[in-house]
Amino acid sequence: MALLLLVLVGVVVGVVLASSLLLRWNEVRYGNGRRKDGDGCLPPGTMGWPLFGETTEFLKQGPSFMKQRRLRYGRLFRTHILGCPTVVCMDPELNRRMLLQGEAGGLVPGYPQSMLDILGRNNIAAVHGPLHRVMRGAMLGLVRPAALRTSLLPKIDAFMRDHLHGWAGSVVDVQARTKLVSMLEQMIAERRSSGDAHDDMLDALLRSGDDGNREKLTDEQIIDLLIALIYSGYETMSTTSMMAVKYLSDHPRALDELRREHLDIRKGKSPEEAISYEDFKSMAFTRAVSTK
C-alpha cells in the first residue's frame, strides 16, 4: 500500500514538473517577452502549451478570454491561439489608425493555416495588393444595382420559393473542400468546352479580364473566390437569420411592424408574382432589422 502511494505521488509530481517545464519552455521559445531581432519588447501575456497554445481556453471562454487578459495585461497582450503566436490589440484608437493606414502601414489580411486549408490561399480575404483589387473588382461587378435588378433578384426569388416549398428539415452535408473543388473544376471545364454563355457568377468570373482592363483570374483563384463567397454567405445568412428570429420573438412590436411591411408589399400582387427591385428598396424596416 505504501509503495502504491509512493508511486502515485511520484507520478503526480512528475506530471506537474513536466507540465511546468513545457509551459516554461514555450515561453522561452517565443522570446519570453523579447523580439527575436532584439528590437524592442513583446507585450506581456502567456503563450500556453506547445503547439496548442491557449486555443482550448479561447474556444471555451469566448469573449471573456479577451476581457480577462485585457484586465490582467492591458489593451495590448500576446497569446497563442488557433495555431499562431498572436499579439492582440484592444485599443480602439490604435486599431483605427492601423485600419486607416491599411497596406501602406504594413497591415495585410491573414488567416490561420486551418482556415486557408478550407477557403484556399487565393480567397479574397487572404490576398492583398493588386490581386486583391482585381478579385474585388470582379466580385463587385457581379452585385452592382443593375445586375441585382435584372438578374440576381429574380433568381434569388425563384430559388427561395423552390427551396422553401421542398423544405423537409433534412440536412445537406457538404463534407469536404475537395468535393467542392472537384465540382467547380468540372463545371469550369464544361463551360470552356461548350462555349455557351451563362448569365451567372461563374461565367462572369471566367470572362473577367477578357476586355484587357484587368488581370485575368486563374482557375485556382476563381475556385477559391467562389468557395470563400459560399462560406461567407452561409455564415452571415445563418447567423443573421438566427438572431433575427431570436430578437423578433423578444420584441413582438417589431415583429408586428415587420409583418405589416411585408403584407403591405403583398397587397395587389398575386401569390405567384415575384418580388420586384422596387419592393426590395421599399423594405426599410426589414433592412433595419437585418442591420441591427
pLDDT in tens, 237-269: 888 888 888 888 888 999 999 999 988 888 878
- Domain count along the chain: 2
- 150 & 196 share domain: yes
pTM over 0.75: no
CB-based contact 184:223 (threshold 8 Å): yes
- 136 & 100 share domain: no
DSSP state of 37: T
Containing structural domain, residue 31: 2-107
Q: With respect to residue 20, please indicate whether it lies within any of the assigned structural domains.
A: yes
- 203 & 102 share domain: no
Q: With respect to residue 76, please indicate whether it lies within any of the assigned structural domains.
A: yes
Q: With respect to residue 259, please indicate whether it lies within any of the assigned structural domains.
A: no
pLDDT of 35 over the 60 cut? no
Q: With respect to residue 231, please indicate whether it lies within any of the assigned structural domains.
A: yes
Residue 106: phi and psi, rounded to 5, are 85, 10
Beta bridge partners of 89: 76
Q: What is the pLDDT, as a whole number, of residue 257?
A: 92
The lowest-confidence range among 55-59, 216-220, 231-235 is 231-235
- 145 & 68 share domain: no
- 13 & 100 share domain: yes
- 6 & 48 share domain: yes
DSSP state of 38: S
CA distance 209 to 39: 44
